[in-house]
Amino acid sequence: MALLEVENLRIELTTRDGTAPVIDDLSFTLEAEETLSFVGESGCGKSMTALALMGLLPEGIGRVAGGHIRFNGEELTTATPARLREIRGNDISMIFQEPMTSLNPVFTVGEQIAEVLRAHQGLSRSAAWDQAVELLDAVRIPNPKGRAGDYPFQMSGGQRQRAMIAIALACQPKILIADEPTTALDVTVQAQIFDLLRDLRRQTGTSIIMITHDMGAVAEMAERMIVMYAGRQAEIGPVEQIIDHARHPYTQGLISCVPHIQAVLTDDRPDLVEVPGIVPSLREFGKDQCLFASRCAHVTQTCLDARPPQKAFSAGQIADCWHAEAF
Amino acid sequence: MSDKPIIIEDETPKAQSPFSEAWGMFRRNHAALVALFVLAVIVFMAIFGPLLYPTDPFEMVWAPFSPPGQEGFLLGTDYLGRDLLAMVINGAKVSLLIGLAAALVSIFIGVSIGALAGFYRGWVEELLMRITEFFQVLPTLLFSMVIVALFGASLPMITLAIGIVSWTAVARITRSEFLRIRELEYVMAARACGVSNTRLMFGVILPNALPPIIVQSALMVGSAILFEAGLSFLGLTDPNVVSWGQIIGSNRQYILDASYTVTIPGVAIFITVLAISLVGDGLNDALNPKLRQR
């Protein structure tokens, strides 16, 4: 049994124009000690998926309209708020995009880590503090003993993201959801954070769900990836295979706009190409057609008439495109 | 150790806690600093004055209406021949205590209601804010007089009455801060760590909402002292304790013949409330992040 199973998940957002499915029929599994990456532009439903897994959809606006989320076989879509609170931080935890604002400014970093340990594991004040210092050391913050007493504003962006990771890993969760963990950081720090996440995964066996729009990060971090477009899965499969041979024009577009992701620059891809156009607005979501059609160079009448079926290829690669075999 | 990057850190200025930073800002406001000193003197007097000047404020010590500075009484005597200095010294304690306690009562009510309304939104907010508005439009003096008249003029009841009529501002400030802070990312991050709603409210959001609440509370101590003086002036006070307002109230018939009996406690109230307001102003400077960078 997979650690996490998501089956036909549908999430609806209530907007002024009615309800729109921000996640439409999404299914995937996550194995233990695996890194799975969600890729896509802004507004494709990556973060919504993460929030849904945590049971943190915006109250009164978003709701799970159908499907299942099973963690270790336990259904999460119908779990009580108390049970979800127990799972959050303990079994599934999350780090956010903006390390500058995701730490509480009025408490020291050590206090914030210790707080989680005390809440979930019932440690004493001093034991929790000692472990907080150890965690800061584990995420490679120099002089952890001294820095534990620092307030977030005294730390740099990279250090704060490390502190966030320390909080997220405090209770040794089974799954760590990283929502664009390096977007706000500069490139050298990004590399350090990726190194750190990889090492920590090796040491603790935590599965990681990484949400990003950076194909380079995916190639570096993940074994499998899901490309999301307009709330739907566009393509899913092993990272290397998809980068090597993407079956969905959107995936191809995402790959071709990153320099040097393929080892050799071939003649048929001399320039960096961008994907023209923008993600359709929420009102378009849920239509029975290929939502990428308006931006696709290979569009045919079929694409506009019906939603593309899932076409399976070798090694579990699945592409939602009418013409997947042709690519 | 081997694969750890060696990071050389330059010497950053020693970690400054939010408290010491606030004190640094407070110190720059000279008026507030003087006011804090004055307030400290008043508080010292309220606590140790009765020991240093042990005259009983209820005892007739001399002929009535002996003016200040004569017959050996620094502030003179009132219409019953009681020592005004002893009364002012003993009254300080009661006035300050009522001011402080009433402010605490209204902070407790205001913060609870504001926090619940701002955190839960929806019908909870709707209901609580309508209740707040109801209390806001009541004539405060009249309402507190009714409470005191109905339940008796004891110190706890007076404190409660003042607290009950003055919590609305705190509730509104707390609610607006909660509405702002609950949407911030670190609150979401705390939720993602499985923090319970109660802890979110009082352990995560409230500490960040405190600065404006503290400033408002400081000002409220001042207005509560004034309020108590007003009630005492109207005779709604415990006759067995001395407070500044009560001295004014009991001497008010002789305001033309012996104006000092009213002026002296009045000045005491004035100085105290002014000092508290200035300290509140200094706290505003110290705790307002927008002013911090200047």
Decide if B184 and A101 are in contact by the 8 Å CB cutoff: yes
Strongest mean pLDDT among A23-27, A178-182, A264-268, B109-113: B109-113
* Arithmetic mean of pLDDT, A38-66: 86
Which residues in chain B have their CB less than 8 angstroms from residue A89's CB?
Answer: 192-195
Nearby residues of A206 by Cβ (< 8 Å), 6 or more positions away: A33, A169, A172, A173, A174, A175, A176, A200
* pLDDT score, position B167: 92
Whether B194 and chain A come into contact, CB under 8 Å, resolves to yes
* Arithmetic mean of pLDDT, B150-163: 89
Name the band, by pLDDT with cuts 50, 70 and 90, for residue B22: confident
Tokens of B82: 């009681």
Decide if A89 and B193 are in contact by the 8 Å CB cutoff: yes
Q: How far, in Å, CA of B257 to CA of B239, rounded? A: 23
Name the band, by pLDDT with cuts 50, 70 and 90, for residue B113: very high
Interface test with A, best of B193, B195, B196, B287 (most A CBs within 10 A): B193
Nearby residues of B229 by Cβ (< 8 Å), 6 or more positions away: B95, B243, B244, B245, B248, B269
Q: Which of A94, A120, A150 sits opposite B15 (nearest CB)?
A: A150
Q: Which of A87, A102, A149 sits opposite B186 (nearest CB)?
A: A102
Question: Domains of chain B, with CATH numbers?
Answer: 93-292 (1.10.3720.10)
Interface test with A, best of B10, B186, B187, B197 (most A CBs within 10 A): B186
* pLDDT score, position A98: 83
**A contact residues 144-203, partner B, Cβ 8 Å cutoff:** 149-151, 154, 164, 167-168, 192
Which residues in chain B have their CB less than 8 angstroms from residue A104's CB?
Answer: 186, 190, 204, 207-208
Strands ordered across the beta sheet of A224-229 = A92-95, A175-179, A207-212, A35-39, A224-229, A232-238, A318-320, A310-312
Distance (Å) from the alpha carbon of A308 to chain B's nearest alpha carbon? 35
Pair A177, A169: CB distance under 8 Å: no
Phi, psi of A316 (to 5 degrees): 75, 15
* pLDDT score, position B10: 47
Tokens 């995937």, located at residue: A28
Whether B208 and chain A come into contact, CB under 8 Å, resolves to yes
Q: Is the pLDDT of residue B13 over 80?
A: no
Whether B15 and chain A come into contact, CB under 8 Å, resolves to yes
Distance (Å) from the alpha carbon of B196 to chain A's nearest alpha carbon? 7
Q: Is the pLDDT of residue B11 over 60?
A: no
- What mean pLDDT is reported for chain A? 86
Among chain B residues, the shortest Cα distance to A116 is held by B193
| Interface contacts A/B by beta carbons within 8 Å | 76
Name the band, by pLDDT with cuts 50, 70 and 90, for residue A267: low
* pLDDT score, position B160: 92
Among chain B residues, the shortest Cα distance to A51 is held by B192
* Arithmetic mean of pLDDT, B90-100: 89
Q: Is the pLDDT of residue B58 over 60?
A: yes
Structural Rg of chain A based on CA atoms: 21
Interface test with B, best of A59, A86, A102, A109 (most B CBs within 10 A): A102
Neighbours of B12 (CB within 10 A): 8
Tell me: the pLDDT tens digits for B211-248? 889 888 888 988 898 888 888 888 888 888 888 888 88
Q: Is the pLDDT of residue A241 over 70?
A: yes
* Arithmetic mean of pLDDT, A30-36: 90
Q: Is the pLDDT of residue B7 over 60?
A: no
Tell me: the pLDDT tens digits for A96-126? 888 888 898 888 899 999 988 888 888 899 9
Which residues in chain B have their CB less than 8 angstroms from residue A83's CB?
Answer: none
Residue A128's nearest CA partner among A158, A101, A148 is A148
Tokens of A225: 């990836």
Decide if B5 and A192 are in contact by the 8 Å CB cutoff: yes
Q: How far, in Å, CA of A40 to CA of A107, rounded? A: 35
Nearby residues of A232 by Cβ (< 8 Å), 6 or more positions away: A24, A25, A26, A291, A320
* pLDDT score, position B168: 93
* pLDDT score, position B21: 77
Which residues in chain A have their CB less than 8 angstroms from residue B7's CB?
Answer: 142
Distance (Å) from the alpha carbon of A101 to chain B's nearest alpha carbon? 6
* pLDDT score, position A120: 85
Distance (Å) from the alpha carbon of A249 to chain B's nearest alpha carbon? 35
* pLDDT score, position A237: 92
Tokens 């003042």, located at residue: B162
Phi, psi of A263 (to 5 degrees): -60, -45
Q: Which of A85, A101, A119 sits opposite B186 (nearest CB)?
A: A101
Which residues in chain B have their CB less than 8 angstroms from residue A106's CB?
Answer: 18, 207-208
Among chain B residues, the shortest Cα distance to A118 is held by B195
* pLDDT score, position B161: 92
Decide if B194 and A89 are in contact by the 8 Å CB cutoff: yes
Which of residues A268 and B143 earns the better pLDDT score?
A: B143
Decide if B199 and A149 are in contact by the 8 Å CB cutoff: no
Phi, psi of A25 (to 5 degrees): 60, 60
ipTM value for the complex: 0.82
Is this model's pTM higher than 0.90 or not?
no
Decide if B207 and A106 are in contact by the 8 Å CB cutoff: yes
Distance (Å) from the alpha carbon of A17 to chain B's nearest alpha carbon? 21
Q: How far, in Å, CA of B225 to CA of B277, rounded? A: 12
Neighbours of B48 (CB within 10 A): 11
CA distance readout (Å), B4 to A137, A142, A200: 10, 10, 13
Burial of residue A191 (CB within 10 Å: 0-12, 13-18, 19+) is middle
